[in-house]
Amino acid sequence: MKSFQIDRYAKGGALRLGEGPDPELRDNDVMVEVHAASVNLLDSKIRDGEFKLILPYRLPLVLGNDLAGIVVRVGANVRTFKPGDGVYARPAKDRIGTFAEYIAIDEADVAMKPNNLSMNEAASIPLVALTAWQVLVERANLRKEQKVLIHAGSGGVGAIAIQLAKHLGAYVATTTSTANMALVKSLGADVVVDYKIDDFEKVLQGYDVVLNSLGKDTLEKSLDVLKPGGKLISISGPPDPDFARQNGSGWLLRQVMRLLSSSIRRKSRRRGISYSFHFMTANGAQLGKITSLIEAGAIRPVMDRVFPFEKTNDALSYVETGRAKGKVVIAVK
């Protein structure tokens, strides 16, 4: 099969298009013919080597972290899916590789594709929607009439998180640029702060939850937005000791993560705020719940551009510009 892969970690390096054998099908796996895959900043960070301590991949490595496609074979123990099923998924972190013609995925990480979405649209959903679900539903326990600030509302995670938060009945604020104001309002944002004009930390106060996907400065300024008892949850770091334990990191790496997050954890404690880092995990059951919301019209995909498979490197470069509205998708088939 054809796939785009890396042979070594290199910042800004190009992915290599190569030929190789089809993936091994385990007893609990489904083999999926990939029709579309979406591009995430996570892909470039893995390529650059930013996560090599917490995600120790064996190289060469096929990149790609979510997909939509058709089941072509199933393992001996699989009961949920059959050949011909249209599915979508975010593979487990140690089994990524959706920039390819085929991938084998544990059935527990797979869900039926929403009936009202095309393959390209469905491929844009899994990683960002699972991130939003796990932060807002599982970790923040966001409730009706609570106030949540979602940074970068026009980005992949932000666009889905706004819609999910509104479905949960929350009051939603977001940050974006002037050009994307109309988009985030159409997704349901109650308050939109144009970061090119206003300082969000001076405009917003008394919030229960902040979902941060930006850098250190934004993370620390977000403390000013939260009320005592509030939750600051970051998907862009720094990783904290709880994540290190959940990730099974060794003693040395746990100490490194403790040091990396010590400043923000200390500042949060002084204000009575909890800080946590979240790295999303594959979960087919949660994705199934997201499917129901999509089919009910509560969540819709937000897509910027679709690139052909052979232009995967161009798609990754475009995502790295930070200008994409919603998701960028690769049409593999």
Q: What is the CATH number of the domain that holds 320?
A: 3.90.180.10
Residue 134 lies in a domain: yes
pLDDT at 52: 86
Our measurement of the distance from residue 101's CA atom to the centroid of its chain's CA atoms, rounded to an integer in Å, reads 22
pLDDT at 254: 85
Residue 58 lies in a domain: yes
* Domain co-membership, 131 together with 116: no
- One digit per residue, pLDDT tens: the chain, 333 residues? 999 999 999 999 999 999 999 999 999 999 999 999 999 999 999 999 998 888 889 999 999 999 999 999 999 999 999 999 999 999 999 999 999 999 999 999 999 999 999 999 999 999 999 999 999 999 999 999 999 999 999 999 999 999 999 999 999 999 999 999 999 999 999 999 999 999 999 999 999 999 999 999 999 999 999 999 999 999 998 988 888 888 777 888 889 888 988 999 999 999 999 999 999 999 999 999 999 999 999 999 999 999 999 999 999 999 999 889 999 999 999
The answer to whether the beta carbons of residues 307 and 331 sit under 8 Å apart is: yes
pLDDT at 250: 83
- With a CB cutoff of 8 Å and minimum separation 6, the contacts of 129 are 160, 164, 287, 290, 299
Euclidean distance between CA atoms 283 and 8, whole angstroms: 29
Residue 228 lies in a domain: yes
pLDDT at 252: 81
β-bridge partners, 308: 331
Q: Where are the alpha helices (DSSP H) in 78-155?
A: 119-123, 126-133
pLDDT at 138: 97
49 torsion bin: left (phi>0), alpha (psi -120 to 50), beta (else): left
pLDDT at 257: 85
* Domain co-membership, 26 together with 111: yes
* Domain co-membership, 81 together with 163: no
How many domains in the chain?
2
Q: Could you write out the three-class secondary structure of 27-70?
A: CCEEEEEEEEEEECHHHHHHHHCCCCCCCCCCCCEECCCCEEEE
pLDDT at 136: 98
* Domain co-membership, 138 together with 119: no
Strands 16-19 and 61-62, how do they pair? unpaired
* Domain co-membership, 173 together with 235: yes
Q: What are phi and psi of 73, to 5 degrees?
A: -150, 155
Residue 210 lies in a domain: yes
Residue 224 lies in a domain: yes
Euclidean distance between CA atoms 275 and 261, whole angstroms: 9
CA-based max dimension of the chain: 58
What single-letter DSSP state applies at residue 319?
H
Nearest one of 205, 207, 204 to 195, comparing CA atoms: 204
Q: Where are the alpha helices (DSSP H) in 126-261?
A: 126-133, 156-167, 181-187, 200-203, 216-221, 241-246, 251-260
pLDDT at 75: 98
Euclidean distance between CA atoms 292 and 294, whole angstroms: 5
pLDDT at 253: 83
The pTM (predicted TM-score) of the whole model is 0.96
Residue 252's domain comprises: 127-277
The answer to whether the beta carbons of residues 146 and 171 sit under 8 Å apart is: yes
pLDDT at 260: 85
